[in-house]
Amino acid sequence: MSTADEKSRKAAAQPSGSIPTAEEGPAPADTAGGKVMAFFFIGLAASLFVGWIVFPKLLYSQKKQPIDFNHAMHVQEVDNGCESCHFFRPDGTFTGIPKLDKCLECHEEVQGDSAEESRFVNQYAQKGKEVPWLVYAKQPACVFFSHVAHVRMGKMDCAACHGNIGESQHTRVYEQNRISGYSRDIWGRNISGFKRHTWDSMKMADCAACHKRAGVHQTSVQTGKGACFVCHK
């Protein structure tokens, strides 16, 4: 009962209270509107700053590779370019980052005067321990990627997707997404998703777009796009 009384009292008081403010004129209302707009734009700028600059900085942790690998120097030393170490096995699977035994073909003893190499030989090669490389391109377990389909059938060279990694003298910082655990290379550095190079991002949409351009059969009944089992397992 008391609440109903209060309501009726408020309702009675309101018209008398609102009339004087309306008579004060339009000028204060304008400044109030301006303030609202100013706050809106400050808020927008602040949230864009947080969302586009602060959040990505917080989202990714920075990790160093266990060994600072020099691609440029190795490419000069080997005969067969990339395929000297990253090659296809006879069953069509791809070696990816080579295992220790491949490195041991040359590095049983220290070859040069690089500090990184002697660290590799002492810490890994002589102990028979695999190097725990951080894989920039690591995809979730449900993703199937066939290198041979792209390299042999698609006639793409390594640089088409990997860029000029063969000329790099140091390994990049591996930025790991703190939430998903995957590398920043998957989403890409540009948080808005725009890309200029093939390797700028490696999401499902990137696979699908390139497959469509390259004429991979779009045979899915549900979507009319590429079938799921082309890239999933």
Closest CA to 216 of 174, 154, 164: 154
Q: Which member of 140, 164, 190, 214 binds other proteins (CB under 8 A)?
A: 140
CA 15, chain centre distance (Å): 58
Query: Is residue 227 within the footprint of other proteins (CB under 8 A)?
Result: yes
* Least CB distance to other proteins at residue 89 (A): 9
Cβ pair 149, 103 in contact under 8 A: no
Q: Which phi-psi region, left, alpha or beta, contains residue 97 (left: φ > 0; alpha: ψ -120 to 50)?
A: beta
* Least CB distance to other proteins at residue 84 (A): 17
CA 165, CA 75: separation in Å to the nearest integer?
11
Closest CA to 134 of 166, 165, 171, 102: 171
CA-to-CA dists, residue 90 to 87, 94, 98, 100, angstroms: 10, 9, 15, 19
With contacts defined by CB under 8 A, name the span among 103-111, 123-131, 148-156, 182-190 that binds other proteins.
148-156
With contacts defined by CB under 8 A, name the span among 24-32, 77-85, 125-133, 135-143 that binds other proteins.
135-143
Query: Is residue 152 within the footprint of other proteins (CB under 8 A)?
Result: yes
Query: Is residue 221 within the footprint of other proteins (CB under 8 A)?
Result: yes
Site string for other proteins, 85-114 (x = CB under 8 A): ---x-xxxx---------------------
Query: Is residue 213 within the footprint of other proteins (CB under 8 A)?
Result: no
Enumerate binding residues for other proteins (CB under 8 A): 88, 90-93, 140-142, 144, 146, 148-149, 152-153, 217, 219-223, 227-230, 232-233
